[in-house]
Amino acid sequence: MAKKLCGTNYPLSICFIVVNEFCERFSYYGMKAVLTLYFLSYLKWDKDLSTAVYHAFSGLCYFTPILGALIADSWLGKFKTIIYLSIVYVIGHVIKSVGAIPTVGNKDVHIALSMLGLILIAFGTGGIKPCVAAFGGDQFDEDSMKERQKFFSIFYMSINAGSLLSTVITPVLRGDVKCFGEDCYALAFGVPAALMMVALAVFIFGSSLYKKNPPQGN
């Protein structure tokens, strides 16, 4: 029987899922908040190219959930899909952050690392998107419909909270903190990378508490 949260009918496992989602959304929107400025002022791209790449990245993030759902339903199940694609997500963030360090290579290296990082981030964030909320819903028994409904309200509140805080904090880090004599994009991308590492760690810490349904096929 699943452990309950403080004498309630809520499974303890949902705490890890909600914190994971908060940190993941912080990492995604925090990175995205300064992405266009990074293209314009750091990579010195013009507005047309910056806008095109930004929207291509956003579009890829909305396409990859299809792949994530197929992988979870047909092969790995939700739990393993979240773990494996979160690792891809973290690697993408780290590569993106390294690409923003001025002393690492030349402009071509920065562009290559940035594009590779963004592709991995898109596969990570999109791939886990259809899995996390559904995995949270799986934690509830059939007689806990009321608690499940409240969970989804809390879950989506954590999404909005992470998104809001990140879009305020990350631009401040870029503008107010200087590194290598200029705006610190490495830090602005590094903090979201750290939050995604926390998200992955928190999710793994709760693994012994989760109800893990096998893949059902598509």
Pick 95 or 143 by higher pLDDT. 95
Cβ neighbours for 70, distance < 8 A, ≥ 6 positions apart? 218
Range of the domain at 129: 22-207
- Mean pLDDT to the nearest integer, 136-148: 90
In a domain, 178, yes or no: yes
In a domain, 86, yes or no: yes
pLDDT at 218 over 60: no
Number of domains in the chain: 1
Regarding pTM above 0.75, the answer is yes
Separation CA 65–CA 176 (nearest Å): 35
In a domain, 175, yes or no: yes
**Residue at 20: amino acid letter:** N
Give the pLDDT confidence of 80-89 residue by residue, as tens digits: 999 999 999 9
Give the pLDDT confidence of 14-58 residue by residue, as tens digits: 999 999 999 999 999 999 999 999 999 999 999 999 999 999 999
In a domain, 37, yes or no: yes
Cβ neighbours for 34, distance < 8 A, ≥ 6 positions apart? 170, 171, 174, 185, 188, 189
In a domain, 4, yes or no: no
In a domain, 49, yes or no: yes
In a domain, 16, yes or no: no
pLDDT for the residue 193: 97
Confidence of residue 6 (pLDDT cuts 50, 70, 90): low
In a domain, 8, yes or no: no
- Mean pLDDT to the nearest integer, 78-97: 98
Average pLDDT, the chain: 92
Q: What CATH number does the domain containing 201 carry?
A: 1.20.1250.20
